[in-house]
Structure 1
Amino acid sequence: MELQHLFGANVRHHRKAKGWTLERLADEVGVTQETIGKIERGKAAPLFDTAEKIAAALDVPATALFGANALPGTGERARLLAEIHRTLSRMNEDQLDRASKMLKAFVG
Structure 2
Amino acid sequence: MNDFEYFGKLVEQAREEKGWSQQRLADEVDVDVRTVKKLESGTGNPPMEVVLKYIFLLNISPAMLFNHDPCEAGLKLDHIYRELIPFSQEQIKLLSDSALHLRRWNDNHPDVETFEDYCRVVGEINAQFPQNNS
- Stretches of 4+ moved more than 6 A in 1? none
- Cα distance between partner residues in 2 of 1:49 and 1:63: 17
Structure 1 residue runs without a partner (length 5+): 72-77, 86-108
> CA 1:68–1:13 in 2, change beyond 3 Å: closer, same or farther?
farther
**How many angstroms does 1:43 deviate by?**
1.1
> CA 1:70–1:13 in 2, change beyond 3 Å: closer, same or farther?
farther
Identity of aligned residues (%): 31
**How many angstroms does 1:63 deviate by?**
3.7
**How many angstroms does 1:46 deviate by?**
1.1
Query: Secondary structure of the equivalent of 1:54?
Result: helix
| Cα deviations by residue, 1:81-101 (Å, 9 ceiling, x for unpaired) | 47xx6xxxxxxxxxxxxxxxx
**How many angstroms does 1:60 deviate by?**
2.9
Larger Rg: 2
Cα-Cα RMSD: 2.4
Q: Does 2:42 align with 1:16? A: no
* Equivalent residue number for residue 59 of structure 1: 59
Structure 2 residue runs without a partner (length 5+): 76-134
The TM-score with structure 2 as length reference comes to 0.48
Query: Secondary structure of the equivalent of 2:23?
Result: helix
* Equivalent residue number for residue 90 of structure 1: none
Count of aligned pairs between the two proteins: 74
- Cα distance between partner residues in 2 of 1:58 and 1:22: 12
Structure with larger RCO (C-alpha < 8 A, sep 6+)? 1
